[in-house]
Homo-oligomer: A and B are copies of this chain.
Amino acid sequence: MNIDMIRAAAKRLEGHALRTPLLNSGFLDEISGRRVWIKPECLQHTGSFKFRGAYSALSALDPETRAKGVIAFSSGNHAQGVALAAKMHGTSAVIVMPSDAPQLKIRNTQAYGGEVILYDRDTESRDEIGERLGAERGLTLIKPFDEPQVIAGQGTCGLEIATDANALGIREADVIVCCGGGGLTAGIALALEADAPTLRARTAEPQHFDDVARSLLAGKIQRNSATSGSICDAIVTPQPGDLTWPVINRLCGAGLVVSDDEALGAMAQAFLRLKLVAEPGGAVALAAALFRRDQIQGDDVIVVISGGNVDPAMFTRAVERV
């Protein structure tokens, strides 16, 4: 993993991924006690940053391999990203999804042309299912985060943050990233190290699924005891990845942790002040910026809203707090 791979991914993504802006609202600045800058990856194709990594990985395959099709396992956002990226490359995608994934994500993955296979998150291993199916059908596995070209794709989000922060004159700031397996965080951290070294990536996670925050404290990989039960389904993973962890450990500040309730509160603020639809797991970084102000330094903070694929009932639950 290095910055050259991220720059190469940015070239491949040009004209295919959306170049998202940085948004701001004075109302959020007041809550956070500093300028809050929002990178709205919920506006990205398929409604999350995952499209970047998926498109990067698909576009990096040699054409013959790609033509045989790909396979991915995902709770929903990586699934949609891979399905659409496969469609855009004229190839097929099998997507292995947990049976408790939001209905919206399952339906959308199918609508993007993905063949969805459901599994039980508590009793089956998605890795085993993925590897077996991949071998049987000659498919290439596109891992959700522990894959260099996926991390490189997510890193393009960091290149854009660095460019815009430099243009805005933002010097010292935390860049808070919603963190599951750590692909987006690691990619952004590497991009910032190269292009905006005074900005520092930090992870945000939901309570009880704070494996990265605890790993950073311990200095070595820690696991979550539970693997389901959070409303932040998009970022619930057992532990940081083997490739993402060393990058996160080397470059990131202390991890931030928020409650499900605070994630819903951040969704309400995104609705009210930014006119953005965020999903719970996509709102934890904003929640950290708004509700952990004492754990953040500096006059500016940059926040990635990483996804917006939320069922209407969950969204209604959030906006009723306004």
A residues at B contact (CB < 8 Å): 18-21, 23, 25-27, 40, 42-43, 45, 47, 84, 104, 111-112, 271-272, 274-278, 308, 312, 315-316, 319-320, 322
Nearest chain B residue, comparing its CB with the CB of A88: B26
Nearest chain B residue, comparing its CB with the CB of A322: B312
Shortest Cβ gap from A138 to chain B (Å): 27
Question: Given A18-B23, A23-B43, A276-B277, is A271 in contact with B322 using a C-beta cutoff of 8 Å?
Answer: no
A275 touches B319 (CB 8 A): no
CA distance A200 to B273 in the complex (A): 32
Shortest Cβ gap from A83 to chain B (Å): 11
Q: Can you tell how many copies of this chain the complex includes?
A: 2
Question: Given A23-B18, A23-B43, is A275 in contact with B308 using a C-beta cutoff of 8 Å?
Answer: yes
Write out the residue numbers on chain B whose beta carbons fall within 8 Å of the beta carbon of A278. Answer: 275
Within 8 Å by CB of A312, from B27, B112, B319, lies B319
Shortest Cβ gap from A161 to chain B (Å): 16
A319 touches B315 (CB 8 A): yes
Question: Given A19-B21, A21-B18, A21-B19, is A42 in contact with B315 using a C-beta cutoff of 8 Å?
Answer: no
14 A-B interface contacts by CB (under 8 A): A18-B21, A19-B21, A21-B43, A25-B45, A26-B112, A40-B43, A43-B276, A104-B272, A271-B312, A271-B315, A275-B276, A275-B308, A315-B319, A316-B316
